[in-house]
Chains A and B, each alone.
Chain A
Amino acid sequence: DTAVSQTPKYLVTQMGNDKSIKCEQNLGHDTMYWYKQDSKKFLKIMFSYNNKELIINETVPNRFSPKSPDKAHLNLHINSLELGDSAVYFCASSQDWAETNEKLFFGSGTQLSVL
């Protein structure tokens, strides 16, 4: 049973398209996150939701919009994709807000390639 699952694992698309990456966790956690892995393999937080409420919203283009229909799901929608959006995106969850030192559970990542 996969604890945090994100789909698709690989996404290849054209510039200008709109795409979504889905994330689901079956751990009963209250908090979910989206991270972006940059070219140096640094992980940078993009968004965090706690009980469907947005609690972290880093400086990312507003073409990126998270959507949390319920606390088990946090989807990432990206409008008007650009070449620079090509990266690996990780979903994660934790029982409570990870900044209180809760353990993070990571999804396997989605490798987005914008052509």
Chain B
Amino acid sequence: AQRVTQPEKLLSVFKGAPVELKCNYSYSGSPELFWYVQYSRQRLQLLLRHISRESIKGFTADLNKGETSFHLKKPFAQEEDSAMYYCALSRPRNTDKLIFGTGTRLQVFP
């Protein structure tokens, strides 16, 4: 069965520090992977998806099939990055369900 694991419930860093939010998955095929984010007083939104290979707000995430991971990274955290982050997985068909991790709260202190 497909599963997404975000081992950290809370990650606290100081502004300017590097950030890595961990996401591991279990899936035997070729998954699609996503990071969703919810900032305070905003709606849940898609941050990035692995097939786009883009960097959004300085965040990147590389799919590592060997380690079955899709960690979210940013070299220098900003206070405005404080939010809830959810990793999600899906099979490739566009009708397939997203499967969510339990979320990691990122707190960036000044």
Contacts and interface: CB of A to CB of B under 8 A. Distances in A.
Given A103-B84, A104-B103, A39 B40 contact: no
Interface size bucket, B side?
20 to 34
Q: Which of A103, A109, A113 neighbours the largest number of chain B CB atoms within 10 Å of its CB?
A: A103
Contacts, number: 63
Interface of B: 32, 34, 36, 38-44, 46, 49, 82-84, 86, 88, 90, 94-100, 102-103, 105
Contacts of A86: 95
Nearest to A43: B44
A45 B38 contact: no
Contact of B38 (A40, A41, A98, A109): A98
Interface of A: 35, 37, 39-43, 45, 86, 88, 90, 98-101, 103-106, 108-109, 111, 113
A108 B99 CA distance: 7
